[in-house]
Amino acid sequence: MNPCDGYDASCVFCKIANREKDAEILESDEELCCFPDVKPGAQHHYLVIPRMHLGNCLSLRKEHVPLVQRMMEMGKAVLQKSHVTDLTDIRLGFHVPPFSSVPHLHLHVLAPASQMDPRSLRMYGPQSVWFLSADQLLKKLNSQKDSCPAEAKPSDS
């Protein structure tokens, strides 16, 4: 398989997506893949990444909303495959820099959220300022204006 555009040879997640580094791929399609987190913070802890190297969640724009939604769907599908039945008791979200260990966009998928220990909660919990839930990110992206430079100019009426 040829590495696609946006491949960063120094990035461990790019290597996993290209099968150059071993990881247990739980689910994949032409756009995304999902594998277990090496340091699980909950009974189930998976990462969903785009195969293409994208930076962290702060570099995303409104046009990435469908991508984030597909990442969430794959995360939930993997949880269901792993027999997680209560999809209300999960955490889906992104680390905010400088707190992301790998600078390749990755969605953390954790379950059950109610059984995370204090250390995990600090990293992935609702109180963590370094963790943006997928819903929060979607809200943020959706509130962005479409980037049209003409609109940004003050109108001289």
2 or 85, CB closer to Zn ion? Answer: 2
For the question of residue 106 being annotated catalytic, the response is yes
* CB distance 112 to 86 below 8 Å: yes
Give yes or no for residue 23 binding Zn ion (CB under 5 A).
no
Catalogue the E-assigned strands of 31-106: 32-36, 44-50, 91-95
CA–CA distance, 92 with 71 (Å, rounded to integer): 10
Q: Which residue is nearest to Zn ion (CB)?
A: 11
Q: Is 44 in the site for Zn ion (CB under 5 A)?
A: no
**For the stretch 14-37, what's the b/e string if a residue is b when 16 or more beta carbons lie within 10 angstroms of its beta carbon?**
bbbbbeeeebeebebeeebbbbbe
Query: Helix, strand, or coil here: 49?
Result: strand
Identified catalytic residue from 44, 53, 106, 108: 106
Contact positions with Zn ion (CB under 5 A) in 84-123: 95, 100, 104
Is residue 13 close enough to count as binding Zn ion by CB under 5 A?
yes
Q: Distance between terminal CA atoms of the chain? A: 56
Kindly state the smallest distance separating residue 81's Cβ from Zn ion, in Å: 22
Contact call for residue 45 and Zn ion (CB under 5 A): no
8: contact with Zn ion by CB under 5 A: yes
- Catalytic positions: 106
Q: Residues in the site for Zn ion, rule: CB under 5 A?
A: 8, 11, 13-14, 53, 95, 100, 104
